Structure 1
Amino acid sequence: MGQLCEDFSVLVVDDNEINLMLMEDILDVIDIKKVKTIDSGIQAIHEIEQNPNYDVVVMDICMPGMDGYEASKKIRHMGYQGRIVALTANLLSKEDPKFQEAMMDDILLKPIDLNMIKKVLCFS
């Protein structure tokens, strides 16, 4: 069996401060303690440059400046091998060309469901 969910390090990227706090609380409930929050795609790129060892990046899709697709593509091109999970309130399919071009691994829909986040982050 793989790494325990509790041992994961997670980078959460979202331009909405309330969403970031909510994700921190949800991840704490499922015992993920190594969490860093970032509020833009550009900051996420800088963070991965400095610390490429996150197990999972949870990336909001709709952000001003650089959206989650573009940030994910850049992170992948930097050599990041961990999982990138799209975070969106919109219907999104893994077959969507933008999702595939961004080389994302999975999708979390807002509002976040505790069981779904555990399934997507820990058991995929």
Structure 2
Amino acid sequence: MDHLKAYWPQEIECIRKGVNRQDGYLTLISPHYINDRLQNKDYPDRVFDELDIFWAISNGHIVEGYDSGDRGRNPEVERTIIGPSVSGNYCVVIVLIKTATRFIIKTVFPADRERYIKHIPGGISNAD
């Protein structure tokens, strides 16, 4: 959960550079999220669009980091970012670190679970 936590401040800056396509960095939203999850009635909590996601990354922070899953070491390290969307509702952005300069936003959902609420300033969920 705290995989290489000392590097999180640097990683968030690199992810942000990728959003702005600066210095050779690139952060993209997975087509799976955009095409299959966003605004899909089967996934009612997937409501955050590109602007919301990039705003959350720009104004949020990394709260969790993983390098392994159920099947052992995962070569695609994950970082969990929590930040406000454009509306002010907080969201969770799961980012895969593909290379030192390439990042993929895997999925995005509301920060309405206790696991994430504790990272929101004031601990206020979207439902409050």
Shorter chain as denominator, the TM-score bin is: under 0.3
TM-score by length of 2: 0.26
Higher strand share: 2
TM-score by length of 1: 0.27
- Larger CA Rg, structure 1 vs 2: 2
